Amino acid sequence: MAAQHQVREAFVALYGAEPDGVWAAPGRVNLIGEHTDYNDGFVMPFALPHEALAAVSRRDDGILRLHSADIEGGVAELRLDDLAPETDEAWTSYPAGVVWALREAGHPVTGADIHLTSTVPSGAGLSSSAALEVVVALALNDLYDLGLQRWQLARLCQRAENVYVGAPTGIMDQTASACCEAGHALFLDTRDLAQKQIPFDLAAEGMRLLVVDTRVKHAHSNGEYGKRRAGCEKGAALLGVDALRDVPYADLDAALARLDDEEVRRLVRHVVTEDERVERVVALLESGDTRAIGPVLTEGHASLRDDFRVSCPELDLVVSTAVAAGALGARMTGGGFGGSAIVLAEAADVDTLTKAIEEAFAAAGHTAPRVFEAVPSAGARRVS
C-alpha cells in the first residue's frame, strides 16, 4: 500500500531511522444507537476504510516526539514526566493523552517517536480523534509488550480523551476503532463491553450505505452534549436506576408517567426507544431482512430530532431529501449539531440520491456536502 511506504519514508526523513513498525486504526460510522453509550446502552458502529496510519519507534529516554503530516508545524517534543491533563490544546493532546493514560495505569512506556497521517475527515463526526488514539495505543501495546486486549486499549483511549484532552465522550468510538471487523457491524453493550460481530455486507445484497458529511459543526455542540448527558443522569436518578439502560422498553410509558419535567421525559424516551431500535436492527440483520432496517434508521432520526434535539437543519435536510428521493432509510450519525448523516439505499439509486442531496443543499444555500460510500472495514491492526 502506497500510504504505508509514504508514512515510513516520512518517518525516516523526520527522525533519521526506520520506524519499528506501522499501525492503522479506522474512523467509524454508527449505524444505530446514538447518545446511548453514556447511558450504559447499546451501539452498533462499523469501521470506515478511512484510517489513521502511524509509524512508531520506542525510545527509552522519557521523550515523546510527535508529528502529523496533516497539521502545519514541526515535530513536537514532550517529556513524559511533564504530561498532565488539560495542559495541551493542540492535536498532540490525543497521542500524548494515550501515553499519559498508559503510564498512569502503570504500564512501563518510556518514550516514542511517532509520525502519523489520517484519511478520516476531522470534525465530521466520524471519529478522527479515536482513530488517532487507538493507532497510538495499539502501537505502544505491541512495542512495549503490554499484552492489553482491544477493549482495554479502548478504555485507556477513552480516558485519554475524557481526562487528558478534556472532551466528554462515551466508549463507542474507541471500541469501534479497536474492535470492528471488515464486513461486519459491531453490536456493543456499553455497560459490560460485551461484543457481537453482526454480518453487514450490503454490497452482496445490492445495497449501499452513503455517508453525507454536511461540513458544518455548530459551535454550541460541546455544551449541548453536556446538557444532554446531565439530563439523562437526572432522568436515571428520578427513576431510581443506575442508568437509563435499566428502564425496560415495555415499562417506558409507566416510567414517563413518573416524570414531571418535559425535557427529561423527552431525553428518557429517546434513550429507551433507541436501545430498542438497536436490538431490532440486530434481529433484522441476523434474520437476513436487511432492507427492513431502513425505516428503523429513519425512526431513530426523528427521535434524535424531536426528542433528543441534537439534529440541525443540514442533517434534517439530508434525511428528508434522501427519504423523499427513495432511500431505504436515513439518519444523522454521531453526536449531532452538524457532522454526518447516513443513507441506506439500493445500489441503483445511489447517483439519483447523491444528486438530490447536492441539489437540496445548493437550493438551501448550504456549503456543498461531501458524499461517499461507506464499506464496513477492518479495525485497528499492525500493517508492517
- 3-state SS, one letter per residue, for the chain: CHHHHHHHHHHHHHHCCCCCEEEEEEEEEECCCCCCHHHCCEECEEEEEEEEEEEEEECCCCEEEEEECCCCCCCEEEEHHHCCCCCCCCCCHHHHHHHHHHHHCCCCCCEEEEEEEECCCCCCCCCHHHHHHHHHHHHHHHHCCCCCCHHHHHHHHHHHHHHHHCCCCCCHHHHHHHHCCCCEEEEEECCCCCEEEEECCCHHHCEEEEEEEEEEECCCHHHHHHHHHHHHHHHHHHHCCCCHHHCCHHHHHHHHHCCCCHHHHHHHHHHHHHHHHHHHHHHHHHCCCHHHHHHHHHHHHHHHHHCCCCCCHHHHHHHHHHHHCCCCEEEEECCCCEEEEEEEEEHHHHHHHHHHHHHHHHHHCCCCCEEEECCCECCCEECC
Tell me the site size for ligand ADP, rule CB under 6 A.
16
30 is a contact residue toward Mg ion (CB under 5 A): no
Closest to ligand ADP by CB, 39 or 129: 129
- Among residue numbers 90 through 119, which ones bind ligand ADP (CB under 6 A)? 91, 94, 117-118
18 is a contact residue toward ligand ADP (CB under 6 A): no
Q: From the list ligand ADP, Mg ion, none, pick the one residue 122 interacts with, judged by a Cβ distance below 5 to 8 Å according to partner type.
A: ligand ADP
128 is a contact residue toward ligand ADP (CB under 6 A): yes
The least CB distance from residue 177 to Mg ion, in Å, is 10
Q: From the list ligand ADP, Mg ion, none, pick the one residue 123 interacts with, judged by a Cβ distance below 5 to 8 Å according to partner type.
A: ligand ADP
Active site residue: 37, 40, 88, 173, which one?
Answer: 173
- Among residue numbers 70 through 129, which ones bind Mg ion (CB under 5 A)? 129
Active site annotation includes 173: yes
177 is a contact residue toward ligand ADP (CB under 6 A): no
From the list 67-75, 135-143, 218-226, 299-307, the region that binds ligand ADP by CB under 6 A is 67-75
Among 30, 39, 129, 158, binds ligand ADP (CB under 6 A): 129
Q: From the list ligand ADP, Mg ion, none, pick the one residue 251 interacts with, judged by a Cβ distance below 5 to 8 Å according to partner type.
A: none
132 is a contact residue toward ligand ADP (CB under 6 A): yes
From the list 68-76, 140-148, 242-250, 275-283, the region that binds ligand ADP by CB under 6 A is 68-76
Footprint on this chain of ligand ADP (rule: CB under 6 A): 68, 70-71, 91, 94, 117-118, 122-129, 132
Residues designated catalytic: 173
